[in-house]
Structure 1
Amino acid sequence: ISYYTTDSSIFPTRGIVASATWEQYGALGGVYNFSKIDLQFTWYKTIYKDLFGRKTVFAWRNELGFIPLGNSVFFERFYAGGIGSLRGFTYQGVGPREGYNLDPVGGNFLAVTTGEINYPIYQNILRGVVFTDVGDVEPNMHLGTIRADAGVGLRITIPFFGQYPLGIDFAYPFSHGPQDHLEYVSFAFGIPM
């Protein structure tokens, strides 16, 4: 189920995006038998409008995911880290690890929240962001080591590439687990503003 009231899918300045999914594996047979629930909620609010009509926007993103029943497989578990998640960590850099190389195996519980302020710097081409991310991924349904980061970033919209921006974020993870993989600079293309 999804619900949205935003004014734009590329650069929302007001409204909400909410979704709830429930996946049931093994209901009609098969090898795997477990339930997976994922809840997401994002709220956008314009907090300032300058003389040129450019908006400064606050975004609050939340995700809660859990696998309450059955034994999940690693490719259906929850992962965190990287752009769109915990930016002070590598992609899938947060959570349980196993094996000789300590590979990420995901968790049955995920909680992530992000607060971000997106503001204009130069025309409609360059924008800045200030953010903080907090979250956790655990093998069982409980909060364990809370990871947190804070940082700044830039969003550059190049007309040749359409309206989707290039993004660069600089994050400092000030709370992390002993096996987490940290990342201070990350790049992305096509991320929502």
Structure 2
Amino acid sequence: MITKFILIGAGVVVTIALGLGIIIGHFAIKKTTSSTTGKYDYLTRDADQQNYKTFISSIQSANIEANLKDLTSRPHLAGLPEDLASAVVIEQRWLNDGLQVTKPKYNVLLSYPDENNPNRVTLTNGSGSIILQTTGTEQVYDATQPKTVNPFLAYTPNGTVSSTKLYYGNYGQLEDIQRLASIVGNASLQGSIIIMRYGKIFRGDK
């Protein structure tokens, strides 16, 4: 009997201790959370409407147009002098606005097009005669403007590919290729050339 009472008493003590622990833990966590939230209330206060209006009123569409026209008036391929000139323009404008500006230098592997051997697409007939051939260069509309960069896909290996099978793959997305394969068959796509539209996905994934 004594053992039985001892076991019952121990069970009651454990139950009471567990209940007290839950109650204490509940209020302790609640209090800590509330205190932590209040500590950072200043970070979420309402914006100053006057500052907002001042910022919005300082934006002028004419300035956006002028900046865009200036920065896109010359090719700015990474690593070339034209790209540095654009960086200097932005740096100076930020300095004039009172900002702290740094221009760190990096050594990176860059890819450039071959100006002497531009990429071309040639269409021939069964006898090998050329029906159509692209120039591989951008058309010049204004001789006074800086020279444009020849079309190329960076970091792709050099080489010449040819095939008697030519297909159109829309944007080159997975569903486009799957649809094309369902029409002509996977075997027909082997060793073929697929022309794709620009856009939708990154050009390097096409």
| Higher normalized helix content (fraction of residues) | 2
The interval holding the TM-score normalised by the smaller chain is under 0.3
TM-score of the superposition, structure 2-length normalised?
Answer: 0.21
The higher radius of gyration belongs to 2
Q: Which structure ranks higher in relative contact order (CA pairs < 8 Å, sequence separation ≥ 6)?
A: 1
